[in-house]
Structure 1
Amino acid sequence: MSTSTKGSKPGKKQGERPFYEKQTDKETSSDIIKQARVSLRPVDTERPFTPQNNDRRLFPTYGRSNERPPSVFSLDSAHFLGSDSQPNSESSSRLPSGSSRAPSGSSRLPSRSGRPPSGGARLQPINHIPEICSSSQAEILQISPPKLPKPPGEQLLTTRSRLKLFNRDVPLLPQPLERRNSNPTPPTKSPVDSRRAHSGPKERTKNFYEERGEGEGAEQIRVLSAEACVNQERSQRTSNVSLTPSERKYSSGRTTKSGIGSRKEKESPEECLLWNTNILPIVEQLVPKNKETEEIDRMCILCDQLFSVLSKLNMLGRTAIRRSETLKIVYKLIDLDSAELSLKASRIVLAFEVTGSNLTSLCKLIFKISKNKENDILFQKNNILDLIVKLIASTNYQKVSDALIYCIGALKFLTGNNAILKDLADYGCTESLARLLININTATMEGLPVAHGVPNLLLQVTGTLRNLADKPATHATFISCQIIPELCKIIDTFPLDGDLMFNISRILSKLTLNQECCTILKNHPTTFTSFLMLMNKHLSNMELIVRLCFIMGNLTAKSNDCRYCLFNTENAMETLLSVFRTYLELDIVNQRSDETLKEKFTKSLQLLKGQKYEDIFIKLVRVIANLSINQDIGPLIAANLNCIELLLQILVLKDVNQSEELVLNTVVTINNLAYYNMPGSMVVEKQIDVCEMLTKLLMMDNQEGMVEATRVFGNLSRSFEVRDYISTNKVDEMMVTLLDSGNREIVYTACGVLINLMVDKSRRPMLKSEGGIRKLIDVLHDFGPLDWQLAGMVCMILCNYSENITCSAECLGEEETSDLIALLIHYLDEEAPLEMTEAADWYEDTIDVMKYYWLTDFYPVATQLISRIEKHNTNLVPLDAP
């Protein structure tokens, strides 16, 4: 240690920053001083890192693939129906992964639940409208009548259901007594008596329509031809597009659907004029001629124009005029396989608020585009993000869970982009997802059965929230929307879903870096019970375990209430130590296999596994260290033999140069437990073993390791056995050597050990023989005005050392005595704490803090020391005994 010139004003060493100097983005000096040298300290660590998934998967590869919708599928315009299907038909809109696309001329029927898709080639439809066949024709065709007859009402229902499959609006036929233009006569026999028991469908159909008239009945039968319906619809669509505005003229009405049924609504002449003038010219051009780049660019421009005009004229939404007609044309643009064009078309479809199977297909399309990172910029350019957020907020998850899975899955990918993440947060994405969580939890709490696909949906929701939680600016929204309690409820509802629990653990590991979020999580009644339960149920899931430990470490770092809550939870310490022992044994086996099975396993793989285990140890040890801060809990942990043995095993197995954070955290934990020097403490029982481990650490070239090991020696050296060990193994000489360090914390901890060593009279000569007196005076000279606590500890060492003083010069040395008296006189001046005022930018409370520590830690012991030295300081040399 360099010594300043005598008589000069004490100051800081070059490169040494005074602890009271103002620092930006840090705690105030008073907080630093209060927490810097307490015997019990919390342990900090970094949040577990998870590399970003570059391939953008909808679900984890190790998940339950048999229960999840496919993430790879084919999609084209044929997957969209001409008009919206009912919302409750979303189950029929699911597309099996890898399903083949039907020929362009064939009709697509939504497959019934549980029925596999038909294979093979589809035949082209026959342009023939069949008529009612006679009984003789039926016999020739060998038509077998059904065994169980159906009444006319059921036959009508079946007919209408078949027609609905082709999106044909079929009017409800009136009952026989309500038919217009008919003169029914009361039957002489009941219909049941007059009907033959085994009558065929031909006869029943004929009798039913005879009441209405043969021509009208035949027309209804003709409609039953599926292929004819599709061909007629497609021909009409083609002809309508080719018409000019003058030829098209005016459409008399349109059909709009609501949540209850359908209704006819007249189209006003003004609406028709707006359509023909502003929209139809654009729609007529939305027919691509080829798939060239120029043609796709032209379609993109037209889509932008169409969306802009529809928005200005307020012709979007469920009740927009010509909605179905416009959608049919826009759907065709998807076949061009252009991500930008498909996204522009999706924006129009979204604005029209499609439902049912069309909504599911639309969400799949958006998801498919979002899987490619290069398409992220397209979502920003096309202003579609706000429409997606509104869709999530307004959609009933119980009816279209598959659609929301793909839609929110796309948001999960997009929130991985920081630029898009900010936009989505501004659009209210966090609030929409929070509302969805509340709806799901409310249904669960009311005892309703869990809807199909809810776990898969929650995976996408939590995955998106996980990305949103990366931004500290969003934490206030997480708090205001009560997302943390809702996540805790999901843990209690789906504890066995490891993927879902992993997502939630990642969210909470980010949020618990915020103290207010920690308070909310602490106040939830099942927090610690749920965490410990998850550790038991998912013991093999290392990624989940390490994050649960990190969350509990954050909660117990600054809250004494959390320490009580966690420790008093049933089987808390047993669970933590069980996880600790399990992974420590795995790590030991892993290290052994690295030596014996080198040919079978590569070294890099083994090191990777070892690093994962080490991360768990770091977080587990941190929880134990934070718990031990509590004055009631600390002694109980110190008395736990299993805990102390596990900590010592870490010091035996790990090297500070390779596992620095783990070793240092372990030493800090042992230091916290060594503070409780009382009967029953296993640290006291094994204090010599601890000292042996720490001596090895002192030999390492690691300053932080030296500081932490010296702190433990400072606690343990209260025991005579430990002081004897220190002297025998020359650790005391190492402490004197550490006084030369430029690190103020190393000097401070070394002084703590020397204070205890100087209690024993037999160990005092070592201090002078090793040059310790001069080094202590240099420490006082260099660090005194910067650190009154350290200055007070130097005075304590010299007081203990000079307990039996008879002559100051003989005890300390003549030059040392003179320098020490001069320094003490200078430092005991009341203005001493303020003499560095002009050298640094002080906080307002720093002056009071400096005076406090000068008055409490330095002044009393320095006054006693200078009084003793001056009392025995004389020029007379004592005579030897005769």
Structure 2
Amino acid sequence: MCICVKVHKIIKFTPFMQPSKYRCTSAEIVSEARRSLRALATQRPFTPQEKHRQLFGESSSRARDGRPPSAFSLHAQHFEAPDSRPGSGTRLSPLEHKPRLSVSLDEDGGVDEATLPKPPAERGNTRIGSGGSRAKLLRAASINRLPPNFSEFPYRDQSSTSVCLFIYLSVCLTPTPCHSAVEVKLGHGDTGDDNMDESVFWNTKVLPVLHEFESFAPELCNACNGLHDALAERGMLGRQFKKRSAILRTLFRLIDVGSDRLNLTLAKLILALNVSGNNLLNICKLVFKISRNASNDALFLNDGILDSLLSLLHCEDAWSKGEAVLYCVGSLKLLSGNSALSRLLLSKGFIGVLLQLSKRLMHGPSSTSANITSHRSEGEGQRIIAGHTLVQVTAALRNIADQSESRPSFLSNKAFSTLCLILENHCKDLDICINVARIFSKLSTYTECCHALAETPRCCGLFLDLLSKHSRKQDLVVRLLFTLGNLTAKSTEARERVYEEEGGIDVLLDLFQVYQETPSPPKQCRAPEREDVLVKLIRLLANLAIHPTVGTALAANTLCVQLLLEESEELVINAVATINNLSFYQGESSVVRSQHTHISQLLLKLLLSSSMDAVLEATRVFGNLSQIKDVRHFIMQHKGYVVTLLDSKTPDVCFSACGVLINLSADPENRAVLRATGTVQKLIDCLRDFGPQDWHLAAVVCQTLWNCSLDGELQHTRELLEILRLYTDRGALQWSSDDGVRQVQEACWELLFLPVAERLRQRFYIEDTTSIIP
């Protein structure tokens, strides 16, 4: 016969619930805040890729009539020669003799007397006359075939042969110097009607010949590269070479061959000869035209044209070359959308080049006050072009920000201060603002960039100003809110700056009201774009609330709380998460505290939601509000909802449910009711299932068990003691093989779980039944 004897000690046990008014030390408050207050995350706003490569996207705010075109025709006739001096306006008579072209350059840029073989004589019908402006470009019959034997030319190596071919074809393209005479092969039976339309003549007579040239493009490219190297070796690039104009005339004529590969090679050589004015603009347009075709991207990978374009952007006076610089940056913007080219540009210091260019464009033209007065209209035009160029610069930086390798360059070049300055100087230019906002939204997702931006003076105030000025521009607003949300998630200083900015919180709440307005008809759902703004805005408020001063102020702001309590299935999770952060502040001024009944009724509905995220957020809010006695009474009326959460397979849900149960079981009248509903068994199951994986959860379960057993016998004591015996034995536990993970696990076990588990185990040992067997 067994005789059971209960041994009682006079020990006063207190519940684990510790309302805010009983917290004594700042360390406890900070620790509790770290457990309760959470920064929210959300997805970065989605931006669809532009369908067409052009200077300005389809969503650009610029009027189409007032912006430079992305599509245009460009031929040799658009270039001017000589490039080195302006035209006199006087047309000279043609020379009486045929010039001789030579291929060997002397030291001062001249040529020797060796001449090329003459092109084969033309046959067929010919006629003398003007033949139209396009006809002067070609002598078509002269280029039907290459010379049969390159050994006729006075060169021995391959590069020299390429130069020879290059000059030979140039001769074929050169108009005959006879007075008013141009020979063109029109074909059999063609009378060469003077009234032939120019476009018809171009399409039927000229283009077919140009297509024949395309087969020679590789040799011509090699010839151009050979010429470039020869001139570079003798120091004849730039503008000082005496025969520069003659070479440029030949290069310009080859543009009509129509090969993109050849034109890029020509552009590199022409830019090396330092053209200016209209020729520089046309070359930049030519490169831009080629860059619009994505299939040409590989051409830019295998040529030095990128170095030539970047060199152009280094020019000190970007204003005087405004439109050329515009198309140059426009080309680089399009190319930076290609990941391989983007990485290549990064390696060439692309970000630094663009930021320096931005500073020069914002500084203004280097002119005297007299010049500014006399050329006011010209200066205004330059400022407009500079604005267009900054759109391209910021768009290129936006593209390059997609590369993870770009972050060190943005940081080392102090890009954030420059970008903020661009925003400040061009706050009315929506294209620029949106591009910069997209850069910030991308980079602020990375911790090091986020801190660098947060440390940039006036960034938070600038963002709030833009939100106020452009509150209806959803694509700008959503990105600025996302960036501010990132800053306030990671930076205490950013939370303070947003709050301390005069009218800053009012701007955010005004936005809340604007985007929460019920659309017409009333039953219509909000557009996804509007919902996206509200999600980002609510997340920002939640992150701001982490700061004690800001959180207290927001919790006391009636409008803020009322806006958050508006019902919306799409917004409910973030809204409740924000309420959770605000509910941490239980001061007398807290609107959350004063409206706890209404809030509790809303939260109860969420506990029945099919969304586990919504259930989790509602439970977390109850964890804070259950410190209020009336709320505990409300929850006990629907206790089954909370107890059932202990069956969840999600540790976070069980953890939050235990937080509510700890507060409920602090009231003596609630303990028996909780024990009667099977709470103890569910808690023991949680301890067994999650303990070794989550010692923080195991500690909270033990605290809840302690409270539930304060004034009555606890069922399943033997089962609980066996689990506690196993879990408090360090040697019996299995730890991770990863040293870092093991250190974290052991720290949580020793600091969080072990003290409360040992206390609980000792208490049950004291109250355990001692069996005496006779």
Q: Which category of TM-score, normalised to the shorter sequence, fits these structures?
A: 0.7 to 0.9
Q: 1:46 aligns with which of 14, 21, 43?
A: 43
Measured after TM superposition, the shift of residue 431 of structure 1 is 2.1
Q: Which amino acid aligns with 1:873?
A: D
Measured after TM superposition, the shift of residue 430 of structure 1 is 1.7
TM-score for both structures, normalised by structure 2: 0.78
Question: For the residues of structure 1 that align with 2:641 and 2:771, how far apart are their CA atoms?
Answer: 36
Measured after TM superposition, the shift of residue 408 of structure 1 is 0.6
Structural mapping, 1:71-90, within 5 Å = 71-84=70-83
Question: For the residues of structure 2 that align with 1:302 and 1:272, how far apart are their CA atoms?
Answer: 21
Question: For the residues of structure 1 that align with 2:643 and 2:400, how far apart are their CA atoms?
Answer: 53
Measured after TM superposition, the shift of residue 35 of structure 1 is 11
Pair 1:429-2:429 in alignment = no
Contact 1:583 1:613 in 2 (8 A): yes
Measured after TM superposition, the shift of residue 294 of structure 1 is 4.4
Aligned residue for 1:38, secondary structure, equals helix
Pair 1:812-2:714 in alignment = yes
Measured after TM superposition, the shift of residue 752 of structure 1 is 0.8
Identity %: 36
Contact 1:300 1:344 in 2 (8 A): no
Q: Which amino acid aligns with 1:308?
A: G
Question: For the residues of structure 2 that align with 1:823 and 1:525, how far apart are their CA atoms?
Answer: 56
Pair 1:530-2:462 in alignment = yes
Measured after TM superposition, the shift of residue 868 of structure 1 is 3.1
Structure 1 residues 787-823: Cα deviation after superposition (integer angstroms, max 9, x where no partner): 2222221221122112113xxxxx223xx11111222
Paired position in structure 1 for 2:629: 720
Measured after TM superposition, the shift of residue 436 of structure 1 is 0.7
Question: For the residues of structure 2 that align with 1:874 and 1:489, how far apart are their CA atoms?
Answer: 76
Q: Which amino acid aligns with 2:77?
A: A
Question: For the residues of structure 2 that align with 1:544 and 1:349, how far apart are their CA atoms?
Answer: 41
Structure 1 residues 529-581: Cα deviation after superposition (integer angstroms, max 9, x where no partner): 21111111111211110111111111111111111111101111000111111
The runs of 5 or more residues in structure 2 that have no matched partner are 1-30, 117-152, 174-205, 373-378
Q: 2:320 aligns with which of 380, 399, 408?
A: 399
Structural mapping, 1:50-199, within 5 Å = 50-60=47-57, 61-84=60-83, 164-166=86-88
Q: Which amino acid aligns with 1:297?
A: S
Pair 1:861-2:723 in alignment = no
Return closer, same or farther for 1:851/1:416 CA change in 2, 3 Å cut-off.
closer
Contact 2:444 2:487 in 1 (8 A): yes
Question: For the residues of structure 2 that align with 1:512 and 1:850, how far apart are their CA atoms?
Answer: 31
Structural mapping, 1:565-714, within 5 Å = 565-585=497-517, 588-590=518-520, 592=522, 594=524, 610-649=527-566, 652=567, 654-655=568-569, 659=570, 662-714=571-623
Pair 1:828-2:728 in alignment = yes
Paired position in structure 1 for 2:94: 232
Question: For the residues of structure 2 that align with 1:591 and 1:777, how far apart are their CA atoms?
Answer: 52
Contact 1:389 1:428 in 2 (8 A): no
Question: For the residues of structure 2 that align with 1:62 and 1:369, how far apart are their CA atoms?
Answer: 25
Return closer, same or farther for 1:692/1:249 CA change in 2, 3 Å cut-off.
closer
Measured after TM superposition, the shift of residue 645 of structure 1 is 0.9
Contact 1:271 1:321 in 2 (8 A): no
Structure 1 residues 721-741: Cα deviation after superposition (integer angstroms, max 9, x where no partner): 11121122x2x2122212122
Measured after TM superposition, the shift of residue 292 of structure 1 is 5.6
Return closer, same or farther for 1:623/1:446 CA change in 2, 3 Å cut-off.
farther
Q: CA RMSD in A?
A: 3.0
Structure 1 residues 812-863: Cα deviation after superposition (integer angstroms, max 9, x where no partner): 23xx11111222233333546xx212xx32334743x444433433333333
Return closer, same or farther for 1:697/1:387 CA change in 2, 3 Å cut-off.
same
Return closer, same or farther for 1:867/1:427 CA change in 2, 3 Å cut-off.
closer
Question: For the residues of structure 2 that align with 1:329 and 1:529, how far apart are their CA atoms?
Answer: 57
Bigger radius of gyration: 1
Measured after TM superposition, the shift of residue 285 of structure 1 is 2.2
Structural mapping, 1:202-217, within 5 Å = none
Q: Which amino acid aligns with 2:249?
A: K
Q: 1:873 aligns with which of 744, 768, 771?
A: 768
Pair 1:746-2:653 in alignment = yes
Return closer, same or farther for 1:403/1:292 CA change in 2, 3 Å cut-off.
closer
Question: For the residues of structure 2 that align with 1:669 and 1:593, how far apart are their CA atoms?
Answer: 26
Pair 1:307-2:225 in alignment = yes
Paired position in structure 1 for 2:14: none
Question: For the residues of structure 2 that align with 1:869 and 1:787, how far apart are their CA atoms?
Answer: 23
Structure 1 residues 688-723: Cα deviation after superposition (integer angstroms, max 9, x where no partner): 222222222221222222221111111111111111
Structural mapping, 1:179-328, within 5 Å = 226=90, 228-229=91-92, 232=94, 239-240=98-99, 243=100, 245=102, 267=109, 278=160, 279=163, 282-286=166-170, 287=172, 290-291=208-209, 293-314=211-232, 315-320=236-241, 322-328=243-249
Question: For the residues of structure 2 that align with 1:774 and 1:593, how far apart are their CA atoms?
Answer: 46
Return closer, same or farther for 1:73/1:718 CA change in 2, 3 Å cut-off.
same
Structural mapping, 1:540-551, within 5 Å = 540-551=472-483
Count of matched residue positions in the alignment of Structure 1 and Structure 2: 650
Measured after TM superposition, the shift of residue 321 of structure 1 is 5.1
Measured after TM superposition, the shift of residue 361 of structure 1 is 0.9
Return closer, same or farther for 1:593/1:67 CA change in 2, 3 Å cut-off.
farther
Structure 1 residues 403-446: Cα deviation after superposition (integer angstroms, max 9, x where no partner): 01111111111111112111222222222112212323444999
Measured after TM superposition, the shift of residue 457 of structure 1 is 1.1
Question: For the residues of structure 1 that align with 2:334 and 2:654, how far apart are their CA atoms?
Answer: 52
Question: For the residues of structure 2 that align with 1:371 and 1:646, how far apart are their CA atoms?
Answer: 47
Q: Which amino acid aligns with 2:470?
A: H
Question: For the residues of structure 2 that align with 1:563 and 1:720, how far apart are their CA atoms?
Answer: 32
Q: 2:292 aligns with which of 360, 367, 371?
A: 371
Paired position in structure 2 for 1:760: 667
Contact 1:792 1:858 in 2 (8 A): yes
Contact 1:283 1:326 in 2 (8 A): no
Paired position in structure 2 for 1:199: none
Paired position in structure 2 for 1:842: 738
Q: Which amino acid aligns with 1:551?
A: T
Aligned residue for 1:406, secondary structure, equals helix
Q: Which amino acid aligns with 1:393?
A: H
Measured after TM superposition, the shift of residue 313 of structure 1 is 4.7
TM-score for both structures, normalised by structure 1: 0.69
Contact 2:535 2:574 in 1 (8 A): yes
Structural mapping, 1:554-565, within 5 Å = 554-565=486-497
Structure 1 residues 291-336: Cα deviation after superposition (integer angstroms, max 9, x where no partner): 3644312034213222234314524333345321121122122224
Question: For the residues of structure 1 that align with 2:414 and 2:34, how far apart are their CA atoms?
Answer: 38
Aligned residue for 2:769, secondary structure, equals coil
Contact 2:424 2:462 in 1 (8 A): yes
Return closer, same or farther for 1:734/1:502 CA change in 2, 3 Å cut-off.
same
Paired position in structure 1 for 2:188: none
Contact 1:755 1:800 in 2 (8 A): yes
Higher mean C-alpha displacement, 742-751 vs 380-389: 380-389
Q: Which amino acid aligns with 2:46?
A: F
Question: For the residues of structure 1 that align with 2:739 and 2:665, how far apart are their CA atoms?
Answer: 37
Measured after TM superposition, the shift of residue 593 of structure 1 is 7.2
Contact 2:108 2:242 in 1 (8 A): no
Return closer, same or farther for 1:71/1:318 CA change in 2, 3 Å cut-off.
same
Contact 1:441 1:486 in 2 (8 A): no
Measured after TM superposition, the shift of residue 338 of structure 1 is 3.6
Return closer, same or farther for 1:491/1:446 CA change in 2, 3 Å cut-off.
farther
Return closer, same or farther for 1:418/1:487 CA change in 2, 3 Å cut-off.
same
Contact 1:85 1:356 in 2 (8 A): no
Question: For the residues of structure 2 that align with 1:721 and 1:306, how far apart are their CA atoms?
Answer: 87
